[in-house]
């Protein structure tokens, strides 16, 4: 205990009195006697007072810490995946609303707001046509998908394509309308009703389309002006119908106005299969203006007969853009066409079995890169090959 008291005394040394305050020397004879009990009592008072002070300060600190620990935590809500979204510029982090509190009392307000890392600019509608330059690897369907319109819309407004998606060439400039429809040059005597009827559209859509800049209080269009017809359409040239057809017999599947010579009877197919090694499309699928599918096939790849039948056409040349083409009548109402071949390995009126190699894939005719153009026809009309084979 004594060492502890000595340490306390060393921390608080007694104040030195000045010489003026120093008492005069007293002889040992007259010096008053000192009481050890009084000195000890003074030392004890100092120690107790400092100890009490220390206890009070410690108590205050402990009480403050305890009070803080009992407060409800401030919660910041971060949506799942917010970090990943924020890095891509689209994420929003939700913080609390101003003045709100966790317990709803409003005593401990927190600030909640949406933190937006990147400014979002709203997509504005487009009313004017856009010019697009075709690059290698493009296809009609890929371009249409990029501009969020139908592929036939591109055929409607670009006469240089001649209603054939295979007419695409690198460097070709295409007019891309703002939405599905077509352009029309107004003629003398035209009315909104007559024009809309010709192009299967609504008169009100033509008048209300902002890009046409028509006065709604007095809607008129001068002859010679070009307007856009939203959702308008027209008939596309059916190049498949132009391809000469050869009959193999009565009611076998081939025929029509272009039927010429007959190959006679032959085997009948029980079903149709896939005509190439690759089962992916090179770009163009079935749709208006493209009555078949383009199957990925490098130059020289094998092309197989989709089913048993008789070859009713095996001709080289342009053939209305088909290039080197083979046609097989399967005797059950179905006819298949294989176009843009680099080589033809069968002859007209030859009998073939399902899976027989009938030619090699190529890039002849109106073709944009090597592939196999494959069609299926029933009674002279084209159907989607994907509905029959995959």
Domain 130-230: which topology?
Answer: Membrane-bound Lytic Murein Transglycosylase D; Chain A (3.10.350)
For the chain, list the strands marked E by DSSP: 92-94, 114-116, 130-133, 173-176, 181-185, 226-230, 245-247, 259-262, 293-296, 302-304, 309-315, 324-329, 334-344, 351-352, 357-361, 371-378, 381-383
What pTM was estimated for this model as a whole? Answer: 0.54
Of 382, 386, 155, 156, which is closest to residue 291 (Cα–Cα)? 382
Non-local (6+) Cβ contacts of 183 within 8 A are: 129, 157, 177, 226, 227, 228, 229
Enter the CATH code of domain 239-387.
Answer: 2.70.70.10
Q: Is the dihedral of CA 297, 385, 259, 152 positive or negative?
A: negative
Alpha helices, DSSP H, located in the chain: 2-11, 36-70, 82-88, 140-147, 151-157, 192-198, 203-208, 239-242
Q: Are 346 and 330 in contact (CB under 8 A)?
A: no
**How far is the CA of 220 from the CAs of 178, 186, 213, 216, in angstroms?**
22, 10, 10, 9
Of 238, 385, 266, which is closest to residue 322 (Cα–Cα)? 238
Domain ranges of the chain: 130-230, 239-387
Residue-wise DSSP of 58-69: HHHHHHHHHHHH
Non-local (6+) Cβ contacts of 334 within 8 A are: 253, 269, 272, 307, 376, 377, 378, 388
Per-residue tokens: 139: 């296809």
**How far is the CA of 142 from the CAs of 148, 157, 279, 284, 307, in angstroms?**
10, 17, 18, 8, 31
Give the pLDDT confidence score for residue 5 in this predicted structure: 57
Q: Are 228 and 212 in contact (CB under 8 A)?
A: yes
Give the pLDDT confidence score for residue 129 in this predicted structure: 93
Per-residue tokens: 135: 């690059």
What are the pLDDT tens digits along the chain (390 aa)? 556 556 656 655 554 444 444 555 555 455 555 555 555 665 777 888 888 888 888 888 888 888 877 777 666 555 555 444 444 444 444 444 544 444 455 444 555 556 666 666 666 788 899 999 998 878 788 888 899 998 889 999 999 988 888 788 888 999 999 999 999 999 999 999 999 999 999 999 999 999 999 999 999 999 999 999 999 999 888 776 667 666 676 555 554 444 555 677 788 888 899 999 999 888 778 877 788 899 999 999 999 999 999 999 999 988 888 899 999 999 888 899 999 999 999 999 899 999 999 999 999 988 878 999 999 988 778 888 988 887
Strands 309-315 and 351-352: antiparallel
Q: Are 322 and 363 in contact (CB under 8 A)?
A: no
Give the pLDDT confidence score for residue 170 in this predicted structure: 84
Of 132, 387, 144, which is closest to residue 283 (Cα–Cα)? 144
Q: Are 286 and 301 in contact (CB under 8 A)?
A: no
Of 237, 165, 233, 171, which is closest to residue 205 (Cα–Cα)? 233
Angstrom distance (rounded) from CA 27 to CA 161 = 134
């Amino acid at each position: 205990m004594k060492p502890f008291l000595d340490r306390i005394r060393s921390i608080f040394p007694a104040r030195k009195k000045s010489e003026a305050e120093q008492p005069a020397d007293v002889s040992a004879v007259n010096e008053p006697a000192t009481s050890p009990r009084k000195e000890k009592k003074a030392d004890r008072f100092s120690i107790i007072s400092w100890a009490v002070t220390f206890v009070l300060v410690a108590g205050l600190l402990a009480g403050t810490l305890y009070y803080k620990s009992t407060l409800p935590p401030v919660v910041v809500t971060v949506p799942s995946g917010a970090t990943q979204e924020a890095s891509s510029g689209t994420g929003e982090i939700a913080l609390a609303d101003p003045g709100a509190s966790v317990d709803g009392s409003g005593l401990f307000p927190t600030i909640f707001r949406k933190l937006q890392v990147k400014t979002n600019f709203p997509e504005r509608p487009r009313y004017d046509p856009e010019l697009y330059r075709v690059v290698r690897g493009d296809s009609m369907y890929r371009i249409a998908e990029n501009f969020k319109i139908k592929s036939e819309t591109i055929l409607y407004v670009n006469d240089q394509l001649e209603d054939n998606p295979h007419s695409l060439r690198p460097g070709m400039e295409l007019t891309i309308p703002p939405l599905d429809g077509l352009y029309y040059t107004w003629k003398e005597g035209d009315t909104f009703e007559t024009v809309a009827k010709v192009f299967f559209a609504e008169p009100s859509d033509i008048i209300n389309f902002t890009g046409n800049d028509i006065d709604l209080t007095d809607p008129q269009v001068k002859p010679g002006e070009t307007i856009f017809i939203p959702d308008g359409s027209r008939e596309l040239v059916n190049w498949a119908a132009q391809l000469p057809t050869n009959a193999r017999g009565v009611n076998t599947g081939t025929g029509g106005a272009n039927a010429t010579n007959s190959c006679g009877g032959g085997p009948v197919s029980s079903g149709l299969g896939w005509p190439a090694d690759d089962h992916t499309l090179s770009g163009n699928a079935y749709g208006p203006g493209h009555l078949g599918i383009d199957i990925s096939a490098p130059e020289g790849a094998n092309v197989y007969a989709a089913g048993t039948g008789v070859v009713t056409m095996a001709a080289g040349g342009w053939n209305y853009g088909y290039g080197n083409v083979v046609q097989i009548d399967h005797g059950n109402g179905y006819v298949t066409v294989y176009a843009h071949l680099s080589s033809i390995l069968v002859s007209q009126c030859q009998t073939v079995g399902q899976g027989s190699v009938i030619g090699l894939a190529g890039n002849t005719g109106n073709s944009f890169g090597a592939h196999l153009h494959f069609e299926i026809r029933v009674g002279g009309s084209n159907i989607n090959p994907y509905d029959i084979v995959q």
